[in-house]
Amino acid sequence: MDKLLFADIDEPGLNTLDVYSRRGGYESLRRALQMTPDAVLAELEASGLRGRGGAGFAMGKKASFLPKGSMDKYLCCNADESEPGTFKDREIMQKNPHLLIEGMIIASYAAGINRAFIYIRGEYVLQADMLAGALAEAQAAGFLGEGILGSEHALSLVVHRGAGAYICGEETALLDSLEGKRGNPRLKPPFPANQGLYQGPTLINNVETLATVPAIIAMGGERYAQIGVENSTGTKLVSVSGNVQRPGNYEIELGIPSREIIYGLAGGPPEGREVKCWFPGGSSAPVLTAEDLDLPYDFDTMAKAGTMLGSGAIIVVDDSVAILDVALKVARFYRHESCGKCTPCREGTNWTVKMLERIESGEATPMDLDILASVQQQIIGHCLCVLGDAMAMPIGSLVAKFRPEFEEHIEAARQRAESPAAAVDTPLLRGAA
Amino acid sequence: MSPSVPRFAHGSRVPGWDDAADLDKDPAVIPEPSTTEVPDELRAEIEAHMANYPDRRSAVLPALAAAQRLHGWCSPQALDQVASVMALTPAYLASVASFYDMLETRPVGRHSIYVCTNISCSLCGADELFAALSEAAHDDPEINVRAFECLGACDIAPMASVDGVYVGPLSPDDAVALLRDLRAGGPVLPERQLVRRACADPQANRQDWPAPEALPGSGGRSAEEVGRAAGESEPESEPGA
């Protein structure tokens, strides 16, 4: 398989216009500008490209939802990559920023957009600097601004640095944050395609999605759709991390067995250990176990298995790790990042952490596991955005799939708590020090 | 395991909750531009950001970040200066600043070390790393060691962002060397920086390319010098730039 996004990614100077053009960069833009915007949209729809940020919505369809005609429309590139375990966009922006910029110009042309923003998380200092440098080069070379390459199309592009908030990766929270507010999600509908940034129609796409656009224009949507499997076309960057020997980003063809990614590419868990569970799509995805390793890695199979492909971040947990520690880490993260706008999420994440801490310290009974599970059920679907669900689903799956281990832990912790000498050494007290 | 939440009297997490309210004081309005002194560089930077957007308010985050670089944190004076340039109330800016993890709402050290303690990093020993770094820097007021949520670098887990420069994988034993490099002002653990790391995908590159150079440190000044400079409210060079 040819690499579409990662071809010679480490070539020195690939971040400069010089090297990028020498490798055929901005040729797709030239080609797109000779087509009509509708023809470009048709190619994107034919490619079957699904959003790479997490939700997996068809990119071409999303772009076609924007109203036609001349008005203030906006394109926002979601570069707030904060989903635990995800670091694929970082590699693109750091090493091949022009690829993203070219993709954004083509997408803006297809949807008739004249103003674009890249919302990059504030922690990515190096990546934002790389983007800013590439942007200046593209501007000077006439790829941005008025009358791009002699066409009628005009585009202004601004790199906007965030300041550290997971919720700003949610599309409507991102818009609020970009408008200079606290990053609170908005009620949907209206969807951003109708009323987004500054109340104008807005197209929001992930970095990887937009960076794939030049390849689609170069090879044609039909041909792109032949890569991968039905309903999950193309290549996907997967970020493999956790207890594996070779963590990192890999560009795979969608639909290959998960085992090939975890064991073949990333080397599997360290010598002598086994996979206990794995998150197939960031920490928001319900976990799968070693039995699911042979499932093909694509959108539909993951959905059928009760989880999601999400952002393509595979976190592997091996059998040396206590499942309670994993649950606590996940729950504490969402408690910290809940914006507080909706009660089920704000209170639910807090109660989940408290209940897990009770389990850890030996104050819980097995019945608390049922309460824990019911709290998760009361969060799902009851909030403006899916941050609460993103905690409830993995925690719910951990409790469902590893209930005996939770019960064992409750019993062991209770016994420890009853003996004062051992009580000093509970994991909770150790952690708090 | 989780960073301890600072608590005030009676266990409240809200600073100043028990301060007596000054009932005679007017609510803070937009500071008078003619009497609010704003350093020229800061004003120019904020105005340049405002010009980037159809709505000037969009520049709040970059403006607050610029003010924080100058003042070390989003101090009342920093908020006043931003407010007067952007024609917003300080209260609005405070409400925004308190939402974001990277904007500091109380005084902190000039150098920041964010240690990722999220799931992937903690599977690789991030909690021990955080403890070691906190221990090594505990008596240095110029160094702000924080446990941070996922920094998007799980391939170099466990890792830390030192003044914006990603380094990893780190072990607790690296804490001393990391702080030594940071205080010396040179590149921090040059061999361990993310920028030097090649893509993990074995088929991505058709040949071996030389690794890029490490990123410089934050200016070659000792922490004490940086601290003194901050006292004279002298702008510091952008970390990691």
* pLDDT one-digit tens code per residue, A97-131: 999 999 999 999 999 999 999 999 999 999 999 99
Contact (CB<8Å) A180/B61: yes
Sign of CA dihedral B226, B231, B232, B235: positive
User: pTM, whole model, 2 decimals?
Assistant: 0.91
For the residues B82-100, what does the mean pLDDT come to? 95
B194 Cβ under 8 Å from any chain A Cβ: yes
Contacts of A250 in chain B (CB under 8 A): 200-201
Candidate from B1, B149, B206 with C-beta closest to A8: B206
Query: In this predicted structure, what is the pLDDT of residue A335?
Result: 96
Whether A168 and A174 have beta carbons less than 8 Å apart is answered as yes
Query: In this predicted structure, what is the pLDDT of residue B28?
Result: 76
Sole residue written with tokens 């590139």: A77
Percent of chain A with pLDDT over 70: 97
**Phi, psi values for residue A259, rounded to 5°:** -60, -35
Which of the residues B49, B115, B154 would you substitute to probe the A interface, choosing the one with the greatest number of A C-beta atoms within 10 Å?
Answer: B154
pLDDT at B228 over 90: no
Count of CA atoms in the C-beta half-sphere (13 A) of A316: 30
Contacts of B65 in chain A (CB under 8 A): 122, 161, 163
Q: How many CB pairs under 8 A join A and B?
A: 207
In the structure encoding, which two tokens stand for residue A176, read together? Answer: 């609020």
pLDDT at B238 over 60: no
Whether B62 and A161 have beta carbons less than 8 Å apart is answered as yes
Amino acid at B29: V
Model ipTM value: 0.93
Query: In this predicted structure, what is the pLDDT of residue B169?
Result: 96
Query: In this predicted structure, what is the pLDDT of residue B2?
Result: 52
Contact (CB<8Å) B2/A332: yes
CB atoms within 10 A of CB A272: 8
Amino acid at B117: T
3-state class percentages of chain B: helix first, strand second, coil last, to nearest 5:
40, 10, 50
Contacts of A332 in chain B (CB under 8 A): 1-2
Contact (CB<8Å) B60/A84: no
pLDDT at B240 over 60: no
For the residues B68-91, what does the mean pLDDT come to? 95
CA distance A390 to A387: 5
Contact (CB<8Å) B204/A126: no
Which residue is closest to B200 within chain A, CA to CA?
Answer: A248
Contacts of B156 in chain A (CB under 8 A): 247
d(CA B120, nearest CA chain A) in Å: 5
pLDDT at B8 over 80: no
CB atoms within 10 A of CB A412: 11
Extract the runs of DSSP E, i.e. beta strands, from B65-211: 111-116, 143-148, 160-162, 165-167
B229 Cβ under 8 Å from any chain A Cβ: no
Query: In this predicted structure, what is the pLDDT of residue A80?
Result: 96
Lowest pLDDT segment from B11-15, B85-89, B200-204:
B11-15
Contact (CB<8Å) B95/A182: yes
Strands A115-120 and A228-229: unpaired
pLDDT at B10 over 70: no
Contacts of A325 in chain B (CB under 8 A): 1, 122
Contacts of A359 in chain B (CB under 8 A): none
Beta-carbon contacts of residue A189 (< 8 Å; ≥ 6 apart):
none
B223 pLDDT tier (thresholds 50, 70, 90): very low
B53 Cβ under 8 Å from any chain A Cβ: yes
Which residue is closest to A163 within chain B, CA to CA?
Answer: B102
pLDDT at B221 over 70: no
Whether A172 and A194 have beta carbons less than 8 Å apart is answered as no
Stretches in chain A below the pLDDT threshold 70 = 420-433
CA distance A337 to A254: 31
Query: In this predicted structure, what is the pLDDT of residue B232?
Result: 42
The DSSP H or E segment spanning A278 is: strand A275-279
Percent of chain B with pLDDT over 90: 75
SS3 of A311-343: the string is CCEEEEEECCCCHHHHHHHHHHHHHHHCCCCCH
Contacts of A164 in chain B (CB under 8 A): 100-103, 148
B225 pLDDT tier (thresholds 50, 70, 90): very low
CA distance B123 to A225: 37
Which residue is closest to A243 within chain B, CA to CA?
Answer: B123
Work out the mean pLDDT of chain B and round it to a whole number.
86
Q: Provide the Cα torsion A5, A277, A372, B148; round to 10°.
A: -50
Candidate from A95, A115, A161 with C-beta closest to B65: A161
Contact (CB<8Å) B210/A12: yes
Work out the end-to-end distance of chain B between its first and last CA atoms, rounded to an integer number of angstroms: 32
Beta sheet of A275-279, edge-to-edge order: A248-253, A235-242, A313-318, A275-279, A288-289
B154 Cβ under 8 Å from any chain A Cβ: yes
What letter does residue A411 receive in the DSSP assignment?
Answer: H
Contacts of A249 in chain B (CB under 8 A): 155, 199-201
Contact (CB<8Å) B4/A250: no
Contacts of A283 in chain B (CB under 8 A): 118-119, 150
Nearest C-alpha neighbor of A101 from the set A16, A42, A169, A168: A16
